Amino acid sequence: MNKLITLLIALLSLQAVSAQQIDSDILKGKDTIIIGYNIDPPFCFLENGKLEGISVRLWHKINKSLNDHVYIYEQRTLEHLLEGVGNGEIDMSLSPLTITSDRHAVMDFSVPYYISECKGLIKSKSQGGRLIDYLNSFFSFNFLKVIGTLLFLLTLFGVLVWFFERHKNKDEFGPGWHGVFNSIWWSAVTMTTVGYGDKSPKTVGGRFVGLIWMFTAIVLISGITASIASSLTVHKLRISDDSFDTFKNYKIGTVKKSATESWLVNHYFNKVSSYQTFSELMEGLNNDEIQALAYDEPLIRFTLKDLDDSKYEVSKFSFNTSMYAMAFSKQFDAALKNEISQDIIDYIESNDWRLLLANYDLLYR
């Protein structure tokens, strides 16, 4: 009896070991593909606990020929997804990754299946808020610097004329502070080409200074006008076709380790803050941690569909054209990479692909 019990225990133990070994082979064997993804709508997102999006549907269409493999899906931030594919922990990325030279050095890519551009996004302000911003601009450092430069030059040329005129033209440029004030008045009238004629230099030295000031003022007034206009509009937080330089002066946020972050740094954006996820990035914008965000247009547009888009403003200008593709680790089977790329080409040439893009309002963007 004891021998029978011992035999049964041994058989059960053997069965448990065999099951454990089989499970290990399934999870870690050569037929297992580790697929990483990050939340990047409309290409990859969770809906009712299920993966959805353009890239997800594309993958479901093309992986039917790979049905002899076991797939393990892992959700990661973009930073850790790139790290995992780069070091071989993850076989492929389901979420689209922008093809860049730095990334291509540590991972492989499928053929690109979508081309996107980046946009800027800010919070819209009420008319009252914009008026306050405009009035505050009058006290900005740039505006005060321009006004200070203008007053300095007016005073300089006024004093120079007074120096030559104070003795020989006492009626118009007399000695003392009254004469200096009259000289500055003449300098302002001359610069603005008002031409009252109530004050005019009579000496050779005074007229020579006046001649230099007339031609200098023509150039000066146009430059100062442009500088004043720039200083008054830089704080209005409006994005238009011609305001990319203004956008560059904002405190901008983007997603950490994204292609957009690299582009901003490489194009001399000095005030860039990075966030782990796009949802954290939107929180930063809403909490006024940043003045604007920069990221891929499809994600921005998709996010605004569920929000009150009157509270936000998308830039009319675009930048950093990106090619989306699936990414593979260098160790991933080369034949499978080629097979997946070929399947992608076949699918994006079909009408189903165009219908899929149209379903997410991306066909004509």
33 & 108 share domain: yes
Do 81 and 326 touch, CB atoms closer than 8 A?
Answer: no
Structural domain boundaries, residue 338: 2-114+325-359
Residue 117 has pLDDT above 60, yes or no: yes
Q: Determine the average pLDDT of the residues in 59-76.
A: 85
Calculate mean pLDDT across residues 305-309: 80
Identify the pLDDT of residue 359: 92
Q: What mean pLDDT value characterizes the chain?
A: 82
pLDDT score for 354:
93
Q: Is the pLDDT of residue 31 over 90?
A: no
Q: In this structure, are 264 and 302 located in the same domain?
A: yes
Nearest-Å Rg of the Cα atoms of the chain is: 34
Query: Are 204 and 264 part of one and the same domain?
Result: no
Is residue 364 a part of any domain in this protein?
no
Confidence of residue 232 (pLDDT cuts 50, 70, 90): low
165 token code pair: 């005129």
Which residue has better confidence, 43 or 200? 43
What's the pLDDT score for residue 11?
Answer: 40
Residue 241 to residue 166: CA distance in whole angstroms: 53
Mean pLDDT over 198-218 rounds to 84
Query: How far apart are the C-alpha atoms of 258 and 9, rounded to whole Å?
Result: 56
365 belongs to a structural domain: no
Does the pLDDT value for residue 116 go beyond 90?
A: yes
Question: Residue 228 falls within a domain, yes or no?
Answer: yes
Instruction: Indicate if the pLDDT at residue 14 is higher than 60.
Output: no
Q: Report, as an integer, the average pLDDT of 30-57.
A: 92
Q: Is the predicted pLDDT of residue 134 greater than 60, yes or no?
A: no
Among 192, 214, 233, identify where a domain stops.
233
The kind and range of the H/E element at 71 are: strand 70-75
Per the model's pLDDT, the better-predicted residue between 318 and 308 turns out to be: 318
CA dihedral (104, 110, 116, 117) in degrees, to 10, reads: 0
What's the start-to-end Cα distance of the chain, in Å? 78
Strand, coil or helix: what is 125?
A: coil
Q: Are residues 9 and 100 in the same domain?
A: yes
pLDDT on residue 204: 85
CA–CA dist 116, 321 (Å, integer)? 6
CA dist 365 and 361 (Å) reads: 8
pLDDT at res. 136: 62
From CA 252, how far away is CA 236, in angstroms rounded? Answer: 15
Q: In terms of Cα–Cα distance, which of 323, 327, 264, 345 is closest to 116?
A: 323
Query: Is 260 found in the same domain as 223?
Result: no
Amino acid at 70: V
Q: What is the pLDDT of residues 322-350, one digit of tens each?
A: 999 999 999 999 999 999 999 999 999 99
How many C-beta atoms surround the C-beta of residue 134 within 10 A? 13
- Give the residue among 24, 26, 33, 23 at the shortest CA–CA distance from 88: 33
pLDDT-derived band at 207, boundaries 50, 70, 90: confident
Regarding pTM above 0.75, the answer is no
Residue 78 three-state SS: helix
Question: Predicted confidence band at 200 (pLDDT cuts at 50, 70, 90)?
Answer: confident
Cα–Cα nearest to 123, from 42, 236, 231 = 236
Domain count across the chain: 3
Q: Are 155 and 192 members of one domain?
A: yes
**What 3-state class would DSSP assign to 32?**
strand
Give CA–CA dist 294/315, Å, rounded. 10
E strand map for 310-350: 312-314, 319-329
Number of neighbouring beta carbons within 10 Å of residue 222? 10
Q: Give residue 131's pLDDT band: very low, low, confident or very high (50, 70, 90).
A: low
pLDDT at 72: 93
Phi, psi angle pair for 168, to nearest 5°? -95, -10
Q: What percent of the chain has pLDDT over 90?
A: 47
Answer yes or no: is pLDDT of 276 > 80. Answer: yes
Q: Classify burial at 88, counting beta carbons within 10 Å of its beta carbon; exposed 0-12, middle 13-18, buried 19 or more.
A: middle
The residue type at 109: F
CATH number at residue 103: 3.40.190.10
Q: Residue 160 maps to which CATH number?
A: 1.10.287.70
Give the dihedral sign, CA 21/26/30/35. negative
CA distance 315 to 61: 35
Has residue 78 been placed in a domain?
yes
93, pLDDT greater than 70: yes
State the pLDDT confidence band at 262, using cuts at 50, 70 and 90.
very high
Residues whose CB falls within 8 Å of the CB of residue 148, separated by 6 or more in sequence, listed in order: none
Q: Which of 21-25, 158-162, 268-272, 284-288 has the lowest mean pLDDT?
A: 21-25
